[in-house]
Amino acid sequence: MIPVVSSGLLLSLEKLMRQFSSCVFLFLALPATAQEADWQLISQSGNRDQVINWYVDASSIVRTDDYLRALLRTSWSVPQYGPDETAYQSTTYVNYFDCGKRMIAYTGNTYYENVEPIGVPVHEEPELPLTALQFQAVTPGSAGETRLDFVCKYRAKQIMT
């Protein structure tokens, strides 16, 4: 016996399939439109036993109130260990920069097992609201000053959150 499908039900099924196909297409297109990190190496230090690299995601730099906000990354050539002895080789974190006063505030640390910030983090610290952050003056010649100088080049550009 062959089941009989009414034309109304058939039209509803066709409409549902078109909507489903549109949703699948949009879902598949999302990764292509998501902005990828633009990690730029801004400084490196260390010796033959350990090298430390500092990066800024140039695509993340935005103006927030009177500050610039950016995502940064530090990577080590050898594993580092947290207070609970968990090994990690890279961290990403948010910095807020007060370019005029030459100060930085840190928040939102995420620790990764590998040199690249990929996979499941081994530890995360939430990003605090700007009002809860403590700004610190950068030390001349430090990695913090290098980060501040790099990010503050964007101060005059029209970037907004």
Q: pLDDT of 21-61, one tens digit each?
A: 433 333 333 333 356 899 999 999 888 889 999 999 999 99
Average pLDDT over residues 8-33: 42
pLDDT of amino acid 115: 94
pLDDT at 29: 33
Worst-scoring range by mean pLDDT, 7-16, 108-117, 137-146?
7-16
Task: List the alpha helices (DSSP H) in 34-129.
Answer: none
- For residues 107 and 18, the model is more confident at 107
Across the chain, what does the average pLDDT equal?
82
102: CB partners within 8 A, 6+ apart: 137, 138, 145, 148
The Cα 145–Cα 102 span in angstroms is 8
Global pTM exceeds 0.85:
no
Domains and CATH numbers, the chain: 1-34 (no CATH), 39-152 (2.40.128.710)
Q: With CA atoms as reference, report the closest residue to 91 among 55, 61, 37, 62.
A: 55
The label of the residue with tokens 């207070």 reads 83
CA 108 to chain centre: 10
**Residue, of 94 and 13, whose pLDDT is higher:** 94
DSSP 46-105: E-SS-EEEEEEEGGG-EEETTEEEEEEEEEEEEEEE-TT--EEEEEEEEEEEETTTTEEE
Q: Are 157 and 57 in contact (CB under 8 A)?
A: no
- φ, ψ at 30 (rounded to 5°): -55, -50
pLDDT band at residue 158, thresholds of 50, 70 and 90? low
Note the pLDDT tens digit of each residue in 110-140: 999 999 999 999 999 999 999 999 999 999 9
Do the beta carbons of residue 76 and residue 90 sit within 8 Å?
yes
Calculate mean pLDDT across residues 94-106.
96
Residue 97: strand pairing partners: 68, 104
56-74: average pLDDT = 94
Phi, psi angles (nearest 5°) of residue 10: -65, -45
